[in-house]
Chain A
Amino acid sequence: MAGVASKIRFRDPQVEMAHGAGGKASRRLIDGLFAPILFESIPAPLGDAAHVSVNGTCVALTTDSFVVRPLRFPGGSIGELAVNGTVNDLAVCGASAQALVVSYVLEAGLPTEILEKEVRAMAAAASRAGVVIAGGDTKVVEHGKADQMYITTSGIGHLIPGLSISPAAVRRGDRILLSGPIGDHGITILLARGELDLDADLRSDTRSVLPLVEALADAAGAGVHWMRDPTRGGVATSLNELAHDCGLGILLAEDSIPVRDEVRGACELLGLDPLHIANEGQFLAVVAAEHADAALKALRATPGGSEAAWIGEIAEQPAAAVLVTTRYGGGRIVDMLVGDPLPRIC
């Protein structure tokens, strides 16, 4: 509210890489600094897209920046990510992307050939996702002041009828649905950096999830209570945010979570948890139990949805936390990622 001094709770003395890693530190920066100053009048919790009323019509609005290195990797590139990422942020907020605007920050010395490839990749991805790129802006910074190129896309979408997504709608007994195998993107990028001397036949999963979200909306409608695309910080971070926002517990059955052998293998070697690894073409949905079977059937019948699976359910306990259970009866709490995933040595 105007005139009221906002209470700033962000006490870290400087910005660290962890504040951009999508985990706890990111959340602290948003909740402790951005939200009290910028979004005071907007009721919490913050989702992947904002709902804004324009002349009485509600639209969804979002923005996302892409700073990936390397620019190209098996299965995709920064341009493709920039389109799909924003389309997906809108999709999991129950909106169908209509138009994007794009902003480039380019480092002086960037070969035109590389730029052109990425612009073409964006055009192709936009055409596949059925969205228009309606405008843009370009800035160039001195050589050495940026890492080749950064892309920001902002998107506007109309709300998919019959969907109403909110952590407040999540109930005990709801089922948790995952659209496909996790960790492909994050591990692909880690390997593409070439620092590990590891090879695996893996591709980024970058894609628009809108067709899958639409299929889910058709099959389960108001039975869909919440959705999120588990990008940085992975499934564990997205579900911890949900648990925190709704105050309920999330129980995951470890065996039911689809993870490719290549991803599991890399995670085992590096001491990482697939639940913390980034995805760019998957989404999580919480669906009322009575719509569960229809929802899964619809997803699996949609191209790209054949590996969708139930991975868990909502419970009273552990309050505001995520518990993973193993087939042999053990369990562990899975927290948000703290900082970037760092490999263990022994």
Chain B
Amino acid sequence: MRFVDEFREPELIARTAGEIRRLADPQRRYRFMEVCGGHTHSIYRFGLKDLLPPNIELVHGPGCPVCVLPMGRIDDGLSIAEHPGVIFTAFGDMMRVPGTHGSPLEYKARGMDVRIVYSPSDALKLAQNNPERHVMFFAIGFETTAPSTALTLMRARTLGVHNFSIFCNHVTIIPAIRAILDSPDMRIDAFIGPGHVSTVIGCRPYAWIAQNEAKPIVVTGFEPLDVLQSVVMLLRQLNQRETKVENQYKRVVPWEGNRAALKAMAEVFELRPYFEWRGLGFISQSALRIRDAYAEWDAERRFSVPGVRVTDPKAAQCGEVLKGVLKPEQCKLFGRECTPEHPIGALMVSSEGSCAAYYNYEHRKTPALASLGA
């Protein structure tokens, strides 16, 4: 398969892994945070940890939109699904995320009209095809998915589709990285930077991480070779005592980002004064809401939403895992009360969540690989 196989080529991967071993100083420990859930997924899916020397630790970051969404928002969104005539639509990722009274899939099993869509424009089409119903799209995601939500809203207004609304949970990546860096227990040496988010925002917004925080950051793709090459680039920076923003994912990410996408976002969204993140708490100016000009399509204004806050179970340590303080298996609930089948915390729900990735791909692996002599 073109554009994929090249980045999984065993010889190149072996060579890059060798380069990492050569560059890594055996006397020190390295803690690199991969910001995106997509990276976490790749790292486990391709067994990349097995290729790194033991003193390089990959720490999973906050870049999983499903994981950082507080349960109260899910409850609020699902409360709209209970209105008569409403079709609740969301990406597949959202379907198993538990709210207080069940996940969207469980609501569906109880008779609510809950449907998976593959893009917000599919939800808009559904609204056009069902004029007697109201279609609500539960929007999640960082800057990666926000432009398509914005363009869909612009289209809804142009076409005059009035039986359509968005429950907006879009968040922005920079404040989350800032919250992690501000956290007192933060011990990260460098960042494997967001890939798909950067296709929209470009590389410039990360400059402060390199300049003010003195942490190297490399914008990185999602194939095995991308992640390994990024580790090489970070090691080189650290060895040369440099801290800069580098772009490993040049084939997709322009340095300046995507102006058209940013323009669409600016047209439709404005920053919320603050927003609650699961595990990280309230972060100011970290999320998007729909501007007044599009109020008619804002589900939060169109329906009365309870606006509940739900605290996570005390025993669940999602926040510590999300900040990279704890590894998934160090949480008291991991693999016991909290499994992908019965997730308690959101990190166990999405396949990009570090707990689910760890549970699915890593859990029980070590003795097996050891017995293979790997």
Contacts and interface: CB of A to CB of B under 8 A. Distances in A.
A15 B109 contact: yes
Interface string B25-53: 00000000000111001001111111100
A345 interface: yes
B95 A342 contact: yes
Contacts of B45: 273, 332
Contacts, number: 135
B110 A14 contact: yes
B124 interface: no
B365 A16 contact: no
Interface string A229-242: 00000000000000
**Interface majority SS (helix, strand, loop, mixed), chain B:** helix
A258 B191 CA distance: 36
A268 interface: yes
Interface string B64-100: 0100000000000000000000000001110110000
B105 A330 contact: no
A344 B364 contact: no
Interface in A311-332: 315-318, 321, 323, 325-332
Interface stretch (B161-169, B241-249, B253-261, B355-363): B355-363
A17 B108 CA distance: 9
Interface residues of A, number: 42
**How many B residues are at the interface, by size bracket?**
35 or more
B44 A344 contact: no
A-B pairs, top 5 by smallest CB distance, nearest first, are A330-B47, A342-B92, A318-B368, A332-B361, A327-B10
Given A264-B4, A323-B369, A332-B45, 9 more contacts: A16-B105, A249-B368, A326-B10, A328-B51, A330-B48, A343-B92, A343-B93, A345-B145, A346-B142
Interface of A: 14-18, 24-25, 195-197, 249, 251, 261, 264-265, 268, 271, 273, 315-318, 321, 323, 325-335, 338-339, 342-346
28 contacts: A16-B109, A17-B105, A24-B341, A197-B118, A268-B4, A317-B368, A317-B370, A317-B371, A325-B47, A328-B14, A330-B51, A331-B368, A332-B45, A332-B47, A332-B361, A333-B360, A335-B359, A339-B96, A343-B91, A344-B93, A344-B351, A345-B91, A345-B92, A345-B93, A345-B141, A346-B37, A346-B145, A346-B196
